[in-house]
Structure 1
Amino acid sequence: MAGTLGKRGKAGAGAALLGLVLLLSACVPGPPEPSPRPSPGTTSPGPAPSGPPSPTAAPSPGETVHFTAQGDIGISSGARKVLDVVAGLQPQFNLALGDFAYKAGFEQEFCDMVTGRLGGEFPYQLLTGNHESDGRDGDIGKYVQCLPNRMPGLQGEYGTQWRMDVPEQNPVVRFILVSPGIDFADGQPLDYSRDSERWRWTVDAIDDAKSRNIAWTVVGMHTPCLSVGNYDCQAGQEFTNMLIEKKVDLVLSGHDHVYQRTHQLATGANCRELVPASFTAGCLADTGSSMTQGSGTVFATVGVGGVGLYNVKTDDPEMRYFASTSGKNQDPALGTLDVTATPEELAARFVPADGYTFTDTFTLRRG
């Protein structure tokens, strides 16, 4: 029995020694595990971004869409003041409605001014104006290189004719940006005449938005048609009436260096068509600041992004179409239009730059 007990004792001691070895080996650190690789389409975590959200923070389905819009910007202190307003509002993106540096060879300086105030990844979405469309005072091709599209799902020719839905999935707003009424290479305008390819592209984009039940349709173009500033109907009478007939909710433009916002306008039994340089009371669908979607179209020119202002011509026959105006001789202000949209409401306000006081507000609500 003593021998049996001795063997068991040796076996027990051996087992204890083996356990001690295993325990010690477990305490020795092994090689470090590699850091997890990001999934495709994502980036490694970094410092929290400053300023407005980057395109990766585009609005999610059901969220409020928040954007700013202005044109006729320049590279002066006025332009920087307006960019500071945009930075303070922190929109999800900005629509730049044409006429940027006003000088050939200053494209990069303009882009640096924008990114210096809004951040290198902020979606500062471009539409050409007449000062960069034909290359004489700048080149839209160079602008789109240094301020490229940063919004998902954009279709078309960025900088000239494009569309996007925001948010990309279950969108609240369709944006349609077009370029009627300005010259391009060799002094030739793009063809937006009735039933042309670009006319049909615009009509199809509007109709598609309505067929998909997107709540709001916003069209942007550099040139307005109705104006109490310096210019006549450069966007084209037929094209403008088509936008009204299609019940586009909001049409944004620049070009005239004033702020001007129409009442809600409509065509029908009391207004066969809108005729520039005249006034027809039957074209006024709603003259209040709170309007119902589907009753007509609101046109807003925001040509006050930083350059010198034009006078408002108060004796212009079209003046009675306008609910609010601002220019060199009347409540002068540089600034931006600030717009928020939900599935039920589109609300806009003019926000002046530092040193100015003029403002304007209007709202469209779904009936």
Structure 2
Amino acid sequence: MHFTAQGDIGVDDGATKVLDTIAGLRPQLNLALGDFTYKAGIEQRFCDMVKGKLGQEFPYQVVTGNHESDGHDGDIDNIVRCLPNKLPGIQGNYGTQWYADFPEKDPIVRFVMVSPGIDFKDGKPLDYSKDSERWRWTVDAIDGAAAAKIPWTVVGMHTPCLSMGRYQCQAGKDFTNMLMAKKVDLVLSGHEHHYQRTHQLGTGASCPDLVPQAFSASCLADTDASMVRGAGTVFATAGTGGRALRDVQAKDSEARYFAAVSGKNRNPALGTLDVMATADRLSARFVPAEGYSFTDAFTIERR
């Protein structure tokens, strides 16, 4: 199967360039990782832009970002109405917390989309704390993929934990460590307006917990671009869907976890993550939009 993923989109020229890039790649679906309109009341304009570039029936699958979760710069409910779910067999609350297997028959990937670390309309974040209802829902979705022998599990959410940008671990330390302990293959996010991709990270005897705002070499499971499934988790942020890029911080305490980085001050590029998956191999690359040249590529294989 073939999918693309990016967040932080907007409705300006950058967004249309990235949508053109996605259209040229011809994926089977796209994961939109939050922050869509950046302005209230123009959700239909955003949806029309997407449909105009990708087609009325294309599965442009959304999970909320912080700009539309609480309604102040758009409303996720309006986005869901004009860009509804197109995947069969979806479970959960589309737009906020859902999972789906693709293809429906003999699935290759389970997508688990969640919303930790951002405020909703009551001014409070959803509860993804340890052993909460949403934590258990996420664990069950991940465990269910393993029980069904689905080759790959991809988790998507707006907020990253590790970052060389302006934000700290909004997704939550415990939640992030749970994803690593479950050996989720790939975790996707937006929020930071740049691209950043970690090495494969893993917890175990030498790395009992990953600690945000610090670095531990013992948490590095694999540091080249060819990785083995089950050794750890790759975290990729693609907040490059169209909005203006931001700087990356070269001296960030977490910098040594990252294998590839692009931002306003370092190899700037709008674009999308492009992922191909078979039963035995997951291959991903960053594809820049027109006018940009930065690229990145990595693979994870089953052995």
- How far, CA to CA, are the matches of 1:122 and 1:201 in structure 2? 27
Determine whether 1:125 maps to 2:64: no
Confirm whether residue 262 of structure 1 aligns to residue 198 of structure 2: yes
- C-alpha separation in 1, matches of 2:111 and 2:267: 30
1:177 is aligned to 113
Equivalent residue pairs, number:
303
The structure that is helix-richer by fraction is 1
CA shift, 1:73, in A, is 0.2
Deviation of 1:109 after TM superposition, in Å, equals 0.5
Aligned equivalents of 1:283, 1:113: Cα separation in 2? 42
Deviation at 1:153, TM superposition (A): 1.0
User: Which stretch shifts more, 352-361 or 147-156?
Assistant: 147-156
Q: Does 1:283 align with 2:223?
A: no
Q: How far is 1:349 from its partner? A: 0.3
- How does the TM-score come out when normalised to structure 1? 0.82
The CA distance in 1 between the partners of 2:236 and 2:80, in whole Å, is 25
CA distance in 1, matches of 2:257, 2:270: 22
Aligned to 2:229: 293
Query: How far 1:152 moved relative to its partner?
Result: 1.0
Distance 1:171 1:122 in 2: 19
Q: What is the CA-CA distance between 1:272 and the residue it aligns to?
A: 1.3
Taking the aligned partners of 1:210 and 1:265, their CA distance within structure 2 comes to: 19
Provide the C-alpha distance between the structure 2 equivalents of 1:217 and 1:122, rounded to a whole number of angstroms.
22
Q: Distance in 1 between matches of 2:101 and 2:257?
A: 30
Tell me which structure has the larger Cα radius of gyration. 1
Task: Determine the structure 2 residue equivalent to 1:333.
Answer: 269
Which of 75, 84, 88 is the equivalent residue of 1:152? 88
Bigger RCO of structures 1 and 2 (CA < 8 A, at least 6 apart):
2
> Pick from 154, 160, 173: which aligns with 1:237?
173
**In structure 1, distance between residues paired with 2:238 and 2:145:** 24
Q: CA deviation at 1:303?
A: 0.3
Which residue in 1 is equivalent to 2:240? 304
The correspondence of residues 59-78 of structure 1 with structure 2, limited to 5 A, is: 65-78=1-14
Matches within 5 A, 1:65-214: 65-214=1-150
Q: Distance in 1 between matches of 2:203 and 2:87?
A: 34
% identical equivalent positions: 70
The alpha-carbon deviation at position 135 of structure 1 amounts to 0.4
Instruction: Choose the corresponding residue for 1:323, options 252, 255, 259.
Output: 259
Question: Tell me, what secondary structure is at the counterpart of 1:82?
Answer: helix
TM-score by length of 2: 0.99
Structure 2 equivalent of residue 219 of structure 1:
155
Give how far 1:212 is off.
Answer: 1.1
Provide the C-alpha distance between the structure 2 equivalents of 1:186 and 1:152, rounded to a whole number of angstroms.
31
Unaligned regions of 5+ residues in structure 1, if any? 1-64
Q: Supply the distance in 1 between the matched residues of 2:54 and 2:148 (Cα, whole angstroms).
A: 33
Alpha-carbon distance between aligned partners in 1 of 2:44 and 2:147, rounded to the nearest angstrom:
41
| RMSD (Å) for aligned C-alpha atoms | 0.5
